[in-house]
Amino acid sequence: MWGIIATWRMAHDGVLAAKKMLEAEAFAGDAMETAIKSVEDYPFYKSVGYGGLPNENGILEMDAAYMDGDTFAIGAVAGITDVANPISVARKLSHDKFNSFRVGDGATQYAMLEGFERKNMLTERAKKIWEKRCEEIAKTNLSPYDGHDTVGMVCLDKQARMTAGTSSSGLFMKKKGRVGDSPLSGSGFYVDAEVGGAAATGLGEDLMKGCLSYEIVRLMAAGLTPQQACDKAVYEFADTLTRRYGKAGAFSLVAMNNEGAWGVATNVEFTFSVAVKDGTCGIFMANPGPDHTTLIQPITQEWLDAYEKRIKAPV
């Protein structure tokens, strides 16, 4: 068996590249890194890597993590700047016994010393969107925090090795130094190759409150299918948080077990990409359904066309 599942439509081209590699016996870590890099490199995705939207000061601070499900090795970076592929830096850090989660200047300096490609990640387009938003906020007092989507993936290869990874520019207009769930083990991602893995996107501040990626893996270990585990973890926690904290932000989680079965749960409209050996390969739309279930349907061409138009629309 082999398989890969990833958050958002933006992951799909990378998933197709990973699929080819997995079919050709590649290591899950290599296939997943290739897939995440392709999202980081694409200039029209506003929330990951090159083209990502900056913090309130106009600086693009990025978060990423890599986890090996066989050894539990984790590498992560938060608030890294001017580096082309944060996921590759995170992966390299996962080989280190100490200092494997680096933030801010420490992360950027590490990447430079290790010879990772330095790149100005703020595109003219992202800068324009930021300038426009600053003007709007000055005029209207709008909440600045929208436009955030993390690419999160879980990957299984033919030899049953598993990895999980994330990459994100976090919340648009975030405060300097703000870090979300994406680089945090258990919240943004988790994988145990003897069970399965999960990855998250949504409001990091709230996802962290429930450690939802770990919770899904724990539920799969207890015998639930990936879909049951996602439904239970996501909807029960969204309810609990609403009751005890007053509200729950957006939560969308994807999961895959070590047999390539997968699941998704979300409290908002959410797209994801999946490819597994049995033939399922595509982009799907998920929505919260009745009684803590998730409605999943293939994406329509109409939606894809509108998406393409939206991400490339003049600023």
Q: Which residues bind ligand ASP (CB under 6 A)?
A: 148-150, 168, 170-171, 180-182, 201-204
In the bound state with ligand ASP, the residue whose beta carbon lies nearer, of 4 and 64, is: 64
In the bound state with ligand ASP, the residue whose beta carbon lies nearer, of 262 and 270, is: 270
Q: Using CB atoms within 10 Å of the CB of residue 184, give its burial: 0 to 12 exposed, 13 to 18 middle, 19+ buried.
A: buried
Phi, psi of 39 (to 5 degrees): -75, -45
Of 185, 181, 218, 159, nearest to 29 by C-alpha is 159
In the bound state with ligand ASP, the residue whose beta carbon lies nearer, of 61 and 231, is: 61
Residue 150 is a catalytic residue: yes
Element containing residue 280 per DSSP (H, E): none
Contacts of 60 (CB under 8 A, 6+ apart): 52, 53, 54, 81, 121, 122, 126, 169
Q: Give the nearest distance from C-beta 268 to ligand ASP in angstroms.
A: 10
In the bound state with ligand ASP, the residue whose beta carbon lies nearer, of 75 and 170, is: 170
Q: Give the nearest distance from C-beta 187 to ligand ASP in angstroms.
A: 9
Radius of gyration of the chain (CA): 18
Q: Give the nearest distance from C-beta 38 to ligand ASP in angstroms.
A: 18
Interatomic CA distance for residues 155 and 2, integer angstroms:
8
Helices 104-113 + 86-93 axis angle, to 10: 80
Q: Are 164 and 153 in contact (CB under 8 A)?
A: yes
In the bound state with ligand ASP, the residue whose beta carbon lies nearer, of 154 and 193, is: 154
Q: Give the nearest distance from C-beta 131 to ligand ASP in angstroms.
A: 22
Pairing verdict, β 151-156 and 162-168: antiparallel
Tokens in use for 18? Answer: 């990973």
Tokens in use for 39? Answer: 């999202």
Q: Give the nearest distance from C-beta 102 to ligand ASP in angstroms.
A: 17
Q: Which of 81, 108, 150, 201 is catalytic?
A: 150
Interatomic CA distance for residues 242 and 247, integer angstroms:
4
Q: Give the nearest distance from C-beta 184 to ligand ASP in angstroms.
A: 10
Look-up of token digits 């988790």? 190
Q: What are the strands of the beta sheet with 189-192, ordered from one edge? A: 189-192, 196-202, 251-257, 262-266
In the bound state with ligand ASP, the residue whose beta carbon lies nearer, of 82 and 205, is: 205
3-state SS, residue 279: coil
Q: Which residues are catalytic?
A: 150
